[in-house]
Amino acid sequence: MHRVLCSTGAFIGRSNGRDYRLMKLCADSMDCDGFEFMMYDDWYDKRDEIEAFVKTVSKPVVTFHAEKNVGELISRNEPGDTEGAVRLFKMNCDMAKRLKAEKMVLHLWNGIHSDKDFEHNASMYPELRDIAEEHGILLTVENVVCNVGSPMEHLKELASRYPEIKFTFDTKMAEFHGELGELYAEENRDLFGHIAHIHVNDYKGGVKDWSCLKTLHLGRGQVDFAGFFDFLKKMCYTGDFTIESTSFDKTGIIDFAAMQQNVDRVRELLK
């Protein structure tokens, strides 16, 4: 059965002090099936207290989103960066295991350096996969935005190299690059078999319009979700979904009603 998750990154951010305790408020306020836990760079020294707190939350952490500096270090690839990325990744896997997450979302490339040297990014995958497996976590690589190439071409390359690889597919990222339609193409049907998780986010803007990267609630952008979910049904997709739409304002106030509308919309589309 499909589960619809809320990303903690959708309601926890700098404007509300990155207060992980807001997870309990969300769990008590919403009808969702659990969380995708977004790791932040200033939470590494709080891992014990976060683990203890999450045990008190009524909804489970199903998926863990690795801290984005892992991908940034891999992408920058200056002396010591690879070792630093692996060290951080091990801490993320340890945290994911503590929170009893089933899978992990990874930005294999990220930040300003992005995919400038995709060969290096791709070469890192086997080591990271093995570390995740040692922790009992399924690693999934996300189709995040690129500065040089495109997410779809990178996913195809990764799938050809590593037949066992799994992906998290983000609708906003695909629409940003004008690639959502490519997923439906007959020649890319094999690629769909690698998708183990889906981020359901909206986007409004032109191809690679960097001023429009904000993650929107469903229906506030241009993604054809009816067509997308029809395709998922045709392909018999059985995985989970995560809502990542930014749901807090500059004062940190969370719009749980808007988040719930996203969850309800996904459930309606699945019928």
Q: What is the pLDDT of residues 152-207, one digit of tens each?
A: 999 999 999 999 999 999 999 999 999 999 999 999 999 999 999 999 999 999 99
Does residue 1 register a pLDDT over 90? no
Q: Is the pLDDT of residue 271 over 90?
A: yes
Please give the pLDDT value at position 116: 98
Mean pLDDT of the 134-151 span: 98
Q: Which amino acid is at 208?
A: K
Band of the pLDDT at 115, cuts 50, 70, 90? very high
The per-residue pLDDT of the chain, averaged, comes to 97
pLDDT band of residue 251 (cuts 50, 70, 90) is: very high
pLDDT of residue 123: 98
All domains in the chain, ordered by first residue? 4-269 (3.20.20.150)
pLDDT digits (tens, 9 = 90+) for 19-59: 999 999 999 999 999 999 999 999 999 999 999 999 999 99
For residue 88, the model assigns a pLDDT of 98
Please state, for a pLDDT cut of 70, what percent of the chain lies above it.
100
